[in-house]
């Protein structure tokens, strides 16, 4: 069963899709199957139902019931390797 990862930005258009695509490619290169979806923050609550991980590209001041990862790392490449390893540890066995 594939892991479900939600990526969110303010509008759910460009930034979240860019990060979602990058995460999909990085995980596929490691042989990890994942359903990575991009949403806007207004749709976040519904999108997180059943999710295994959340990758925000915008700051929110909420607590979530799923592991949260730094989306800016995947956008900029800074600390991307560390964040990818954390993500893999959380969803790699799904």
Complete domains list, the chain, with CATH: 3-91 (3.40.50.2300)
Mean pLDDT by 10 residues, the chain (94 residues): 90 86 96 94 92 90 89 94 96 76
SS3 call for 90: helix
- For residue 12, the model assigns a pLDDT of 64
What's the whole-model pTM score? 0.92
Q: Which residues contact 47 (CB under 8 A, 6 or more apart)?
A: 6, 8, 37, 39
What is the reported pLDDT for 64?
A: 87
CA distances from 1 to 15, 50, 64, 91 (A): 27, 13, 22, 11
**pLDDT given at position 69:** 95
pLDDT score of 74: 96
Which of 46, 51, 55 lies closest to 35 in space, CA to CA? 51
């Amino acid at each position: 069963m594939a892991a479900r990862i939600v990526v969110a930005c303010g509008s759910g258009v460009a930034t979240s899709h860019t990060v979602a695509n990058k995460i999909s490619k990085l995980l596929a290169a490691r042989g990890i199957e994942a359903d990575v979806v991009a949403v806007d923050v207004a749709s976040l609550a519904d999108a997180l139902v059943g999710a295994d991980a959340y990758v925000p590209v915008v700051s929110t001041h909420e607590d979530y019931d799923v592991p949260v990862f730094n989306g800016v790392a995947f956008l900029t490449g800074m600390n991307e390797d560390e964040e990818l390893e954390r993500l893999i540890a959380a969803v790699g066995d799904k």
